[in-house]
Amino acid sequence: MNQDNQRSGLAALTLGAIGVVYGDIGTSPLYTLKEVFLPATGVALNAHNLVGATSVIVWALMLVVTLKYVILILRADNRGEGGALALTALAAQAVQQRPRLRQGLLLLGLFGATLFYGDSVITPAISVMGAIEGLEVVTPTLKPYVLPISTAILVALFLVQRFGTAAVGKVFGPVIVLWFGVLGVAGVVHILDAPQILAALNPMEAWGFLSQRGWHLFAAVGAIVLALTGAEALYADMGHFGVKPIRLAWTGLVFPSLALNYLGQGALLIKDPGAIENPFFRLFPSALVLPMVVLAAMAAVIASQAVISGAYSMTKQAILLGFLPRLTMRHTSASESGQIYVPAVNWALLAGVIGAVLMFGSSSALAGAYGIAVTLTMLITTVLTYFVIRDGWRLPAPLAIGATVFFLSVDALLVAGCAIKFLDGGWFPLALGLLLFVMMSTWASGRKLLMQSLRAEGLELLPFIQSLALGGANRAQRTAVYAVADPSLVPQALLHNLKHNQVLHETNVILNVAFHDRPTVDEGERVEVTALAPGFWRVLVHYGFMEEPDVPAALALCAPLGLVVQPFETSYFLSRETVVPTPGGGMANWRERLFAALSRNSSGVARFFRLPDNAVVELGTRVQI
């Protein structure tokens, strides 16, 4: 019975992984092969090149996705979690004895994380437009409706985010399983018509195709890389589904279906070169094209949902690691803590996606913008993984260096292939990534300057509370919790309370919340309690970057350690700093102004830490940086 439960659990996780993890890479056949044979790539449409290009796609999936991600990268788990920031934290831990290298890796990983947002803008736009463009195959008269229908679907997708993905998520897996099944079957039908396409399974065909391209090599690679977009999702979603279901889904269904479909498109074009206008939808009889447009649109929405949800999760991690100001986050599920909705991110992504659709106008034009952010992320992942396997896992240098050089060579070729599309739209996701990198690095640097300023002007806590113990202040028969960034200094809110109200509480808790560069913290390590003086306690609460901070719940864990905090007899005093940019040291003036603006617009501490609204007292203070 135990084994039956394990099998059913594995089957459910595998189904979920197929629906969420592989939606992005699963929609790549909609547009990839068509892009390889555009006039700009210089690849002539003939049987020889069709076999070669298809071979490159199949073996790119084998080397980059199967070998690099499924076999190697999935081993680099940070307490079961994956993704750009989890890998960055893991690499930083591995080199923590070398501060400069650690700082460099943190910045590199942060830049890789910001590129994900560029991908989150392009993926919904190109996936949905690639699906709806199937209407042109039904009848050319529908072409004018592709753009408005795509825009309407995308707007509706972002409007329903506030309701959560639980209900829609139940159909993700079955729809994508059907999608991959149809991909495979359609491919097999056409392979039987032109079995010579099976020569593409020989890796020498891929090598021959690439070696014959000359200066057109990079243009061809820039189109072929579209087949790999979505590979990063395997690692990013590891914490949601686990390694085994992701590997099982890839090897058992996703990779075979993708390979068969690309081979089928190649076989179709060998028999009918005129199908190059839209080889994917021409795989199907005319009576099935419209149902396939509907199925493709559903698959594209699911692919889009995966990156949108990923953007929310990435934002939450960045906030907890100190790279973004606090933003309003809403939980959309009572049972799944990972299902969150971030309104600011949602509307920013919607604006970006609609802007991309209107700016580029077609999936082919969007293909120019697609790929460069993905391939740069892949390259950064390879660099970070080297430090994990060499300094963290202590694997032999020849093995670590050899594997890294091989994958870096592949990644560099992919990046170069996409870089030549910079002026054709590749600048768009890079500009988004750089904008976010500037904002995140400014916030992190600004917080450091703010802490330095507070320390320079602050009073040492222990001498201050020892002087209070001598008496003099009126005592209120309640508990006061003072949330502070530096637990060694007197909270500004405590000073204001004494100055303006001339009162001290019976029990005073100096609270500091620490977020660590690991996904979770064991419950036994959640709180540290220290008695400082009569009526004064210091409480340090620990969270990982994947956890939800809940201060009242954490304070309830203090009772066995000698500090009892009664929920209905407790007031929370918060200091809200108003940042004042000043000329001189610190950051450039424009960055200080940006930090001040971000600080003003960050959401309140009370909501972020789940403090009860009717028990919070907020006091302001001006701080120069």
- Per-residue confidence (pLDDT) for residue 1, from 0 to 100: 43
Look up residue 423 and give its DSSP letter: I
Residues of the chain above pLDDT 90, percent = 43
Q: Which residue has the tokens 């300094």?
A: 391
Given a cut of 70, is residue 314 above it in pLDDT? yes
Does the structure show a pLDDT above 70 at 445? yes
Determine what percent of the chain is predicted with pLDDT higher than 70. 95
The reported pLDDT for the residue numbered 546 is 79
Per residue, the 3-state secondary structure of 462-474, as one string, reads HHHHHHHCCCCCE
Check residue 541 and give its pLDDT.
96
Lowest mean pLDDT segment, chosen from 132-141, 211-220, 300-309, 432-441: 300-309
- Encode pLDDT of 3-51 as tens digits: 555 666 788 778 877 877 888 899 999 999 999 998 888 899 999 999 9
* Banded model confidence at residue 168, pLDDT cuts 50, 70, 90: low
Q: How far is CA 336 from the centre of its chain?
A: 18
State residue 55's pLDDT score: 97
**How high is the pLDDT of residue 510?**
95
Query: Residues 36-89: pLDDT tens digits?
Result: 998 888 899 999 999 999 999 999 999 999 999 999 888 887 777 777 888 888
**For position 552, what pLDDT does the model report?**
95
Q: Give the pTM.
A: 0.82
Q: What tokens were used for 340?
A: 């969150």
Domains of the chain: 2-352+430-445 (1.20.1740), 459-624 (no CATH)
The answer to which of 174-178, 334-338, 434-438, 547-551 has the lowest mean pLDDT is: 334-338
Average pLDDT over residues 182-201: 96
| Mean per-residue pLDDT, 374-400 | 90
Q: Which of 66-70, 232-236, 318-322 is predicted least confidently?
A: 232-236
Residue 345 has pLDDT above 60, yes or no: yes
Of 20-29, 202-211, 217-226, 329-338, the least confident: 329-338
Pairing between strand 330-331 and 340-341?
Answer: antiparallel
Helix/strand/coil (H/E/C) assignment for every residue in 62-107? HHHHHHHHHHHHHHCCECCECCHHHHHHHHHHHCCCCHHHHHHHHH
Q: How many residues does the chain have?
A: 625
Residue 480 has pLDDT above 90, yes or no: yes
Of 320 and 289, which is predicted with more confidence?
289
Query: Residue 75: which residues within 8 A CB-CB, separation 6 or more?
Result: 243
In degrees and rounded to multiples of 5, residue 409 shows phi and psi of -65, -45
Section 544-554 average pLDDT: 89
